[in-house]
Amino acid sequence: MNGPLSRLLLPLVVVATLLALTPVAALADGPASRRPGVLRMQTVPPLAGVQVTVDGTTVRSDRHGRIAVRVRNFLGLADRIVVASAAVGPDRRVVFDRFRGSPDAGVRRIVEVGLRTVRRVSWSFVERLGAPVPADRITTMRLRSSTGEIHELSGADLVRPRWVAESRTQQGPRGLASKQLYYVVDSVVVDGTSVVNRAAQRFVPWDRQEWVIELLFFKVTFSATDMIFSRRAGDGVMLTRADGRAEQLGFTADGTVLVPDLPRGTYEVKVAGGGVSFGRPVSISRDQQVVLSVISPLDLSLVILGVLAVALGLILVGRPHLGRALLRWRRPSWLRLPTRRPAVAPGSGTPAQPVPAPTSPGTGEQPVPVSAGGSEQPVPVSAGAGVPDPPVTEPAAPATRPQVVHGASPAPAGRAARRSDGRRGAAVAVAALLTLLAPLPVADRPASAAAPAWQAPAGPPDAAPPWVVAPPHAAAAPTPAGTSAPVPVLAYYYIWFNPTSWNRAKTDYPLLGRYSSDDTEILRRHVRMAKAAGIDGFLVSWKHTPQLDARLAALVDVARRENFKLGIVYQGLDFGRDPLPLPTVRADLGHFADRYATEPVFDIFGRPVVVWTGSEKFTAEQIDDTVGAARSHLLVLGNAKNVDTVADTRGVLDGQAYYWSSADPVEEKTDRKLTAMSEAVKRTGGLWIAPVAPGFDARMIGGRRDVDRRDGATLRASFAAARRSVPDALGVISWNEFSENTHIEPSERHGETYLDVLADLLGRAVDHDVLLESHATSNEKPWGLPAWAALLSTVAVAAVPPFWLVYRRRRARSAVTPPTQRGAAPQVDPVDL
């Protein structure tokens, strides 16, 4: 038995030895990983026809994107699986992107295969009314994807279909997820100018392969008129486009020329023929009629005659004897009448009344001039000899003694009347000249130049600020039912954006691109967009750092030029939402007060408004110790979130601005809380800024709440709830808080929808063609004189100095001329009387 037993024990010993040398993990997983099996995979996104090769075996995914392939084992699959880049349709290709985890885990679960897809797209161009635009009119086109990929197209590429990235995968909490990409049209250049609003048109290749790109072509009618007489003039117009190309367009029989498809942009236009015309820049952003002026030969003749007439008048005024000589020279001799100068009675200064001279029949007596004594002496003439008889002297009329007052003779009434008339005429002439030289507006004055309806007129220095609430017993003016007085509309504004800020926690992006807050042009366009929608100012998020100080200074300069208001939201919390030290807050507010307390841009309620974020984390004593000095120059508001906090800070703050962006005014009774907050604030005589928000979604930064925008219904309900709280101002949350998705700035996802809704609530209409024009430099309307007034003003201005010199010369000459030579009565000394 020893032989058979030993033969059985020997294999058992060998097996036991092998088991002892094998690791425990190999005993657990080794057999399943090393054995043949079926590898199951799922494509992300789920696509049919995706080709996968493993160990020489090729399979394709089904219509749900599922793949099952038999493998010899599950070790090193990452190197053995080949996902081919191939077409899965006539217009779609797939490219392998990533696995979720290691494919070797396929022994226990389904392996996710992430794919990037590429789509074949094409496009066509149409004008605003749908008429096709041939591609040969396009110079270049620039497309930009949501990942920042740029496609610059020109020439044949403008008509050739193109393969573009359609989707990509990203790791999510539940596995791989496919993210669809979209493209925006940054520019389409025609004749040297872009004819699209930047990023306003968006296309998703997953949903649409044929893109229709709308171009901004406008119908423009040109005509020309005589500058002074307003009649038709000229043969046509010379139109110079943005690329420098010029063409002449002739007028039709009705004196106009129509260009039905003029690209949006700025052109230089002047009239061809008909006189003198100067190039004039014309900005085309809508269908319009452009009327140009021509200085015709008739206009030139009139101006030359006017200048000559002024010059001749100056000469005649300065040299009166030339005028008299000219009149005598021009008067025919047969029209000249014998004249005689009336004698002046001695001592009277006035002509003596003539005494009629009787004539005797047959004596031939003739009247003679009055003698020095005032009598007329007839000279008898003999009928036969013609020898005069001795003169007969009539007794002279007694001379009238002039009245003397304090030793001076009064000026004659006629001269005084003439002097008064001259002064009145001079006053009328000066008034007419000032009226002519007044800056007549070519268009209406921009609305921004007028004071807002909510801004109270300036009162005495010791008057109460306009935000102070009257006591309950004070009489109030009746207000029509359903209406309330207008209040400032302020939007929360953030200046913390850098180019890299857009790479984190963003699901939407501005139509202006992923900007930096250092860009002054972006600041200017934000201000103009806000003004166009009826927003009166920004509440700027700020704290004292070199970068934010520089950005705030740039924004202040822009706001000053654009007549726009600013307030401050002091960020008293750090990135971890912990309050800043109170000495830091005190120093920062002191720095702001020293620099901006007297800046008119911050004058919304008499003093600059500063909202202290995080003030609710301190006691009333701490707040008073921190902001007590600053409140003499600033209005420091808190950020209380309930009525109890308002009561706790009574007397140490100037009001409250509630930043309630996550409220849902449609599903919740937010108006009750806002009304209670308002009443609590106003019981302390404070300023109340009520919140208005279009929606909320902070899940990308760790939040859990999501308030749907409801295509503007949320914004309308929030606006109504805020107005019912009778605020001193509305605080719109926000202009550009893209991380919490409360922005109303025009964006790639929402376009201009929420700016339009707010403008509608404020009774404003937004011009979208102007709102997003990349070439716009100003929204102010031009001021100046019409051409005819400019010419007449030039002539009038040129005539003023000579007339003034002549006037001064005549005054000087009159001052040195003796009164007797001017026909005035001699002065009589009272002693001689």
pTM for the whole structure: 0.49
Neighbours of 462 (CB within 10 A): 5
Write the pLDDT tens digit of every residue in 389-439.
455 444 444 444 444 444 444 445 555 555 555 555 555 555 555 554 444
Mean pLDDT in residue range 44-57 = 91
Mean pLDDT in residue range 195-201 = 86
Q: What percent of the chain has pLDDT over 70?
A: 69
Mean pLDDT taken over the chain: 79
Pairing of strands 162-172, 175-180: antiparallel
Main-chain dihedrals φ then ψ at residue 388, nearest 5 degrees: -70, 145
Cβ atoms 712, 161 nearer than 8 A: no
pLDDT exceeds cutoff 90 at 638: yes
CA–CA gap between residue 609 and residue 621 (Å, rounded): 21
pLDDT score of 121: 96
Mean pLDDT in residue range 497-522 = 87
What is the three-state SS of 440-486? Answer: CECCCCCHHHCCCCCCCCCCCCCCCCCCCCCCCCCCCCCCCCCCCCC
Q: How confident is the model at residue 781 (pLDDT cuts 50, 70, 90)?
A: very low
More confident residue, 163 or 448: 163
Q: What percent of the chain has pLDDT over 90?
A: 46
pLDDT exceeds cutoff 50 at 668: yes
Give CA separation, 396 vs 346, 347, 359, 360, 620, in Å: 12, 14, 19, 21, 108
pLDDT exceeds cutoff 60 at 368: no
pLDDT exceeds cutoff 60 at 674: yes
Hey, which of 420-424, 703-707, 743-747, 828-832 has the most confident mean pLDDT?
A: 743-747
Cβ atoms 733, 248 nearer than 8 A: no
Write the pLDDT tens digit of every residue in 240-295.
998 999 999 999 988 899 999 999 888 999 999 888 888 888 888 888 889 998 88
pLDDT score of 474: 38
Mean pLDDT in residue range 736-740 = 94
pLDDT score of 312: 78
Mean pLDDT in residue range 779-804 = 58
Cβ atoms 476, 470 nearer than 8 A: yes
pLDDT score of 300: 80
pLDDT exceeds cutoff 70 at 524: yes
pLDDT score of 369: 47
Mean pLDDT in residue range 78-84 = 90
Mean pLDDT in residue range 87-93 = 89
Mean pLDDT in residue range 780-794 = 53
Peptide bond into 380 cis (omega under 30): no
